[in-house]
Amino acid sequence: MDLNLSPEMLFLIFLVALFAKIIGTLIGGGGFVTQPFLILLGIPPQIALANDISASAGMNITSMHVFKKHKILFFKKLLWWLPGMILGPLIGVELLKTLPTDLIKWVVSIYCLCACTFLLSQKNKPDVTPIQNIYARRTTSVFASFLVGTYIGFSGAGAAFLTGTALILTHKVNSKEMTAMRHVLHFFPAFSAAVSFYFLGWLNLALGLTLFSACLMAGYIGSHMVIKFKEETVKKLFCTAGIFMSLAVIAQEILNYL
């Protein structure tokens, strides 16, 4: 799709995306900045979301490289997440074509608000006890993966909070390990959704490459910040941002109804 974006506008998009995706790599929620910004520039909503979601794979690629180098990735724990992360976005793309976003925004925001508040309340406890029953853990992982995968195909903004809290509550991982694992998981739905968006004709070459370049750089910078920060700092940043952004989305939806 031809958007006639000037070099100056593409450079501005790159700068905004770089800043947003560094924060997104670190604590999530980068899409809450980039997607409204692109729409504000006059880019059609479906095109804005499609290119932002697809480009986020770049952030996951460089992040995975850094986290693997520092040996904080545990691929075996992610096996039960893969089906939903690959197939879920196909459902999400269909939702993006046909349904309003209100219901999904409410569900995701309320879940993230409750989960992040719970995780913050564990500040005097070194670990959150994950689900012990292996079958319940696997079932929860599959369900969560389809929910997250579908949401990433639909919007993806704030999906880090949905994935991150689910990983902590279902597996014995700390906040840094969770951050590394979610970047692995989010690559699959971003790629899967990108294929669907391509066949729908929603990807723009100039916009997509600009966002992808920003995401590659942001993933590298942000993942190094995760490595250097203290564990408790990463946890507090993640949960505080999750609560703030969830409340912001809920407030926005309430104002829309008034």
Which amino acid belongs to residue 50?
A
Q: What confidence tens digit (pLDDT) does each residue in 174-188 have?
A: 778 888 888 988 898
Distances (CA, A) of 34 to 12, 55, 153, 155, 196: 11, 11, 16, 11, 21
Structure tokens at 103: 């219901």
Query: How many C-beta neighbours within 10 Å does residue 15 have?
Result: 11
Q: How far apart are CA 165 and CA 251, in angstroms?
A: 22
Nearest CA-CA partner of 155 in 11, 38, 6? 38
pLDDT at 122 exceeding the cut of 80: no
Determine contact, residues 65/159, Cβ cutoff 8 Å: no
Q: What is the pLDDT of residue 63?
A: 94
User: What would the mean pLDDT of 191-196 be, rounded to a whole number?
Assistant: 89
Q: Give percent of the chain above pLDDT 90.
A: 23
- Residue 151 or residue 204, greater confidence: 204
Q: What confidence tens digit (pLDDT) does each residue in 137-154 have?
A: 788 888 888 888 887 777
Instruction: With cut-offs at 50, 70 and 90, classify the pLDDT of residue 246.
Output: low
- Residue 54 or residue 133, greater confidence: 54
Q: What confidence tens digit (pLDDT) does each residue in 212-224 have?
A: 999 999 999 999 9
Weakest-pLDDT range from 60-64, 67-71, 115-119: 115-119
For the ranges 62-66, 76-80, 130-134, the maximum mean pLDDT occurs at: 62-66
Which amino acid belongs to residue 224?
H
Domain spans of the chain?
7-257
DSSP string covering 94-149: HHHHHS-SHHHHHHHHHHHHHHHHHHHTTTTSS-PPPP--HHHHHHHHHHHHHHHH
Structure tokens at 67: 């986290």
User: What would the mean pLDDT of 4-16 be, rounded to a whole number?
Assistant: 93
The 8-class DSSP code of residue 6 comes to -
Q: What is the pTM of this model?
A: 0.74
- Residue 198 or residue 242, greater confidence: 198
Q: What is the pLDDT of residue 205?
A: 94
Nearest CA-CA partner of 178 in 161, 156, 155? 161
Own/partner contacts of 101-104, CB < 8 Å, gap of 24 or more, are 101/154, 101/155, 102/253, 102/256, 104/151, 104/154, 104/155
Cβ burial of 125 (10 Å; 0-12, 13-18, 19+) is exposed
Instruction: With cut-offs at 50, 70 and 90, classify the pLDDT of residue 126.
Output: very low
Q: How far apart are CA 76 and CA 249, in angstroms?
A: 34
Q: What is the pLDDT of residue 130?
A: 62
Q: What is the pLDDT of residue 59?
A: 95
